[in-house]
Structure formats: structure tokens, C-alpha cells
Amino acid sequence: MRLLVTGGAGFIGSAFVRHVLGAGQADSVLVLDKLTYAGNMDNLAEAAADPRFQFLRGDIAEPADVEAAVNQAQPGAVVHFAAESHVDRSILSPEPVIRTNLNGTFTLLEAAKRHGIARFVHVSTDEVYGSIPEPHDADETYPLIASSPYSASKAGSDLLALSYFRTFGLNVSVTRASNNYGPFQFPEKLIPLMIANALEGKPLPVYGNGMQVRDWLFVEDHCRAILAVLRQGRAGEIYNIGGNRSLPNIEVVRRIIAATGCSPDLIRWVTDRPGHDVRYALTSAKLERETGWQPQVAFEDGLERTVAWYRTHRDWVDRVRSGEYRRFYDQNYGNR
């Protein structure tokens, strides 16, 4: 199969590219990526040596860029990761989030329809369900009650993708995964930010009371699930992907403190995030039933591997935390 992978220079997209090439699951992979602050060619260094791999720098919200990518890749399937993916940035600056996540997804769907592309996997998030009260777990029929500009833009793009199945018969599946963690994650999200700061003895900023709950999914488990949906998922269907591991944020931070050996005194209780979702919880029973997929990496092992990766990739962290990151960091944490 020839794949067009959008956002393949980011955290999950690059892991997916490594996974499909490593597993011999693609004849060719073309990554279309704008290389925003979150996109990084270092993440694709391993893939770049593979003759099946190609890269095109371009914006999914620009029809000409998408057209060029489709013409070059001649894809049998699109796997769509590209997004502005961070809640805090979507609060500080929603415009690029709306543009990429909504207009970009629209532009890709239009191209897929025009070119008759046989398969389209739209990669989304459990955040579209909003905060889930105890004791419920969201299945794929749970209402969309998105809280942030990020999650609302993902909910909108999910509905748009599904409408292209219902109205135009495009072979689309939507995946909704829980919080991912693992190597190559940009240090703006909870786990890599805490690890990077802990390794440097910097403060660990915990929002609010730290009791918000997230379900944690190791990135390689997520990539296997997306491949399963690409191969076996049904058109017009949504598939939740969870790690079966719910933890309050403060517990995650305590485990990072233990794994890095830093001082607990580094914890800083800071002002809560506006509109902060208290609890995410989902069931992936449908995916498990239809494809046999299950998460394989226990949180303890995944966290150990992730901490080890950040320890040995300080140069990667230094490079991605250049000027733009410092501006964001000051804006987000400066007056908290």
C-alpha cells in the first residue's frame, strides 16, 4: 500500500512512520508536514534512510500543497495526523488550531474525494468527549462536549470526516485515542515537560490540585491500533483507543520524580488551566472486538523507556526548546 501520512514529522506521526516501515506494512510512505514548532526532521532520521520514504514540506490547509502531495504519493490511503495538538496553545492562540485542524482536514477530505483515494484514517482524540463523570467510560456513542478550542476543533473535524463518508461515500474511519506518551514527544505536554524539567532540576508546574485524571497510552500501542484500523476498520466508524491506565496528574508527576531521582521540592502548584477537563475515560472494547488489538506496554515500562530516552537525548530536547519554545513557556507559565 502507498501511504500519504500528514503530520509525520510530529510525535505520533513519526512513530507511525517508523512502525509501518519497520513492519513492512507499506510500499511507500510520503509525509506531508508543514514543520511547525512541533514538526522536526530529527524525528524522521531513521525513516529518511529508507528508499520507500519521501518527505514533502507543505501545509494541509493549502489546496496546492495537498494536491502536490497526492500527485507525488499516488496514495492508496491517507493517515491524517497533522494538527495543532496542544490544549494550552489553543487557549493562548486559537487561530492556527482552527485553521489547521478544521480547514486542513477539510482540504484533505476534498482532495481524497476528488482523487478517489480508497481509504482515509482521521486521527483524533478522546478529548472530544470532554470531562467524563465517574463512573462512566466513553464509548464511541458518547456525546461530544469539547471544552477547549483544541478539542472543539478536533470534534468538528471528526464530524466533517464522517460526513464525507455519509454524503460522498469516502472510506473514512475516525480514531479517538487517549493521552499518548513516549520518545520524541514535544516537551509541552505533561509527561515530556515534567521529565525534561526534572532532569534539569527545573520546577514541575502542576495545574490546579493535580487530581485531574488522564488515561495513558504508550505511543507504539497507539501506532499498532491505527494500523489495525487502517487495515480492518469499517468505513464510517469511530474507534476509541485507550491504554487502560488512568492516573491523576500528581501521581504521574510523583512517578516521574521517582524515575528521574529529582527532588519532590521541585513541584509547583500553579493556577489551573481554564476549562480544565477533570477526567478522561474511555473504553476501546469496539476496537478490541473488531481487530483483536490490545495495549501491550504497561505504564511502568513505558515510563521507564520514556525517561531513559529523554536522558539520552538531551541534544534533541535542547534543539526543540529553542527560541519559540521559550516564548511559549514564558507566556504559559510566566504569570501562573
- Contact yes or no for 178/172 (Cβ under 8 A): no
The three-state secondary structure class of 45 is helix
Query: Residue 137 binds what, of ligand TYD, ligand NAD, none (CB under 5 to 8 Å, by partner type)?
Result: none
The Cα 53–Cα 120 span in angstroms is: 19
Query: Residue 249 binds what, of ligand TYD, ligand NAD, none (CB under 5 to 8 Å, by partner type)?
Result: ligand TYD
- For 118, residues 6+ apart whose C-beta sits below 8 A from its C-beta are 76, 77, 171
Q: What is the dihedral of CA 207, 101, 221, 44, to 10 degrees?
A: -100
Catalytic position from the list 150, 181, 239, 310: 150
The three-state secondary structure class of 57 is strand
Region of 165 on the Ramachandran plot (φ > 0 left; ψ -120 to 50 alpha; else beta): alpha
Catalytic position from the list 33, 59, 65, 127: 127
Residue whose CB is less far from ligand TYD, 236 or 248: 248
Q: Which residues bind ligand TYD (CB under 6 A)?
A: 87, 127, 179, 189-190, 193, 205-207, 212, 214, 249, 273
Q: State the minimum distance, in angstroms, from the CB of residue 239 to ligand TYD.
A: 19
Residue whose CB is less far from ligand NAD, 215 or 288: 215
Query: Residue 193 binds what, of ligand TYD, ligand NAD, none (CB under 5 to 8 Å, by partner type)?
Result: ligand TYD
Q: State the minimum distance, in angstroms, from the CB of residue 223 to ligand NAD.
A: 11
200 is catalytic: no
b/e sequence 99-115, b meaning 16+ C-beta within 10 Å: ebbbbbbbbbbbbbeee
Sign of CA dihedral 191, 336, 126, 165: negative
Residue whose CB is less far from ligand TYD, 43 or 179: 179
150 is catalytic: yes
Q: Which residues bind ligand NAD (CB under 6 A)?
A: 6-7, 9-13, 33-36, 38-39, 59-61, 81-85, 100, 104, 123, 125, 154, 177, 179-180, 186
Q: State the minimum distance, in angstroms, from the CB of residue 38 to ligand TYD.
A: 13
Query: Residue 190 binds what, of ligand TYD, ligand NAD, none (CB under 5 to 8 Å, by partner type)?
Result: ligand TYD
- Contact yes or no for 81/12 (Cβ under 8 A): yes
Q: Which residues are identified as catalytic?
A: 126-127, 150
